[in-house]
Amino acid sequence: GAVVSQHPSRVICKSGTSVKIECRSLDFQATTMFWYRQFPKQSLMLMATSNEGSKATYEQGVEKDKFLINHASLTLSTLTVTSAHPEDSSFYICSAPSVSGTQNTEAFFGQGTRLTVV
């Protein structure tokens, strides 16, 4: 099946710094990438949808200036957590549909990034 690679898998950063998370589709082109956040013992919550070559679409309540998303190519999307605070500590997961723009596709997930802000 298709592979989505996400890096880093774990990162610890100081409050006030920024952290970049990369998500790559290794064997297919992903014009769309979804970014999720998973709090401990909770489900995945969609944060935003990134589209190659255009601005990301953010879900209600997600600060676009804090969570910067860039989808510069068909195989790479990045999420930057700016001025991170301890409450941003979470598990971030990216996902890409195997075929963009159609309904009957499954999504492939990255390995996830556990962010700890100290």
**What is the rounded distance in angstroms from the CA atom of residue 62 to the CA atom of residue 92?**
13
**What is the rounded distance in angstroms from the CA atom of residue 55 to the CA atom of residue 116?**
27
How far are the Cα atoms of 31, 67, 73 from residue 59, in angstroms, in the given order?
Answer: 18, 11, 22
Query: Which residues from 48-107 bind other proteins, rule CB under 8 A?
Result: 49, 93, 95, 97, 102-107
**What is the rounded distance in angstroms from the CA atom of residue 99 to the CA atom of residue 45?**
22
Q: How many chain residues touch other proteins (CB under 8 A)? A: 21
**Closest distance of CB 88 from other proteins, Å:** 20
Tell me if residue 117 falls in helix, strand or coil: strand
The dihedral region occupied by 88, where left means phi > 0, alpha psi between -120 and 50, and beta the remainder, is alpha
35 belongs to the binding site for other proteins (CB under 8 A): no
109 belongs to the binding site for other proteins (CB under 8 A): yes
The residue among 14 and 54 lying less far from other proteins, judged by its C-beta, is 54
**Closest distance of CB 16 from other proteins, Å:** 29
113 belongs to the binding site for other proteins (CB under 8 A): no
For other proteins, which stretch binds (CB under 8 A), given 22-30, 39-47, 67-75, 76-84? Answer: 39-47
Residues of the shown chain interacting with other proteins in the complex, contacts defined by CB under 8 A: 34, 41-46, 49, 93, 95, 97, 102-107, 109-112
